[in-house]
Structure 1
């Protein structure tokens, strides 16, 4: 069983806009060494265990395709510390950095930047909850909480993960409201799109009225 509150609180979220670029940042600490986290992030056989199948030429200059999802090009790679890729289009850039933490832990920072014309800061509501789910899946995997027979695609559609997504949307909604980067009307529109994408049948009012799950 997923401890939803623990998983939500494990991620630090931020959205910012500088000039014509919007930047969504997620940070999380993993109970595993850097080499282990890097390997789980970049080995296709391991990625399919917690994220989704990936194909392509996985090296700088090569391209990749996530099954049923986005693809892109690999721009930079410095094992086991950093890689940068395009994601879903040449102007959408994802960079992941790993640093050693206290003890046998790893600090991960994910930056996803897009041109402001792609929806402005409200874009955080389109990508943030999805990345939250991915970072949770990585944690469950490297910390030994995923059974061998778990299909991450099926898991993503499970009632438990959909419930997690509700709290993820709530967390991103709070970040976006506090950022002051867009109007209340734009926040509402972005939240409605996020709810439709990640938790169909739920309303933004439902998200606002969530109570913290019992431990």
Structure 2
């Protein structure tokens, strides 16, 4: 059973609005630390057999320039792969970028996951609420796997956790002051429909 409050508190969240080369983007950024060496974390993120144990089955060509498909979810292209520190892929759309950065030290490994999309594609800055709760479930599930207690990303308890993560992301978006109350309320309603909190 997942300790919801402990797991929600274990991840730091941020929403960032950027303008690069004249294009506005919004990023959902998650940061979480694990009491595990960087090589083991990297392997859990990039080895298809390990991914199947805690995330979802992933098929494709696992090399820079190769395409991949997550079963029942999005696919994309591997743009950069610098073991064991950096993975950059497109996810679901060529302008939807997911970058995972790892930093290891004597205490373990810190993961930073940054999902960036153009504001136009996201439906506004509040679009972070449409994907971020799902990534919350992913970084939590990775922690469970690394601790020897794997649970897949499509399991009822991870889906329930993601539903509770909507509230944490609502607080994050409100604190960023990048959207109106009405925009946030509408995005939260959409996120709750996407991540229902069980029966």
TM-score between the two structures when normalised by the length of structure 2? 0.93
**Structure 1 unmatched runs, 5+:** 203-215
Q: Does 1:95 align with 2:99?
A: yes
Q: Which residue of 1 aligns with 2:118?
A: 115
* CA distance in 2 between partners of 1:6 and 1:200 (Å): 18
Contact kept? 2:141, 2:153, Cα under 8 Å? no
Tell me the residue number matched to 2:11.
11
SS at match of 1:136: helix
Aligned-pair CA distance for 1:88? 0.3
SS at match of 1:132: helix
Tell me what 2:166 maps to. 169
Name the counterpart of 1:184: 181
| Structure 2: unaligned runs, 5 residues or longer | none
Distance 1:145 1:123 in 2: 32
Q: Hey, what's the Cα distance between the residues in 2 that align with 1:154 and 1:24?
A: 21
Q: Deviations over 1:152-205 (max 9, x none)?
A: 2552xx2x4344233201100001111111111110111011000001689xxx
160-169 vs 63-72, which deviates more? Answer: 160-169
Q: Which has the higher strand share?
A: 2
- Shift in Å, 1:138: 0.5
- 2:25 aligns with 21
Q: Which residue number corresponds to residue 85 of structure 2?
A: 81
Residues 55-93 of structure 1: CA distance to partner in whole angstroms, max 9, x if unpaired? 000100100000010000000010011010000010000
TM-aligned CA distance change 1:191 to 1:145, over 3 Å: same
Q: Which residue of 2 aligns with 1:132?
A: 136
TM-score, structure 1 normalization = 0.86
Q: CA deviation at 1:102?
A: 3.9
Distance 1:180 1:154, change over 3 A: closer
Partners of 1:2 and 1:34 lie apart in 2 by 24
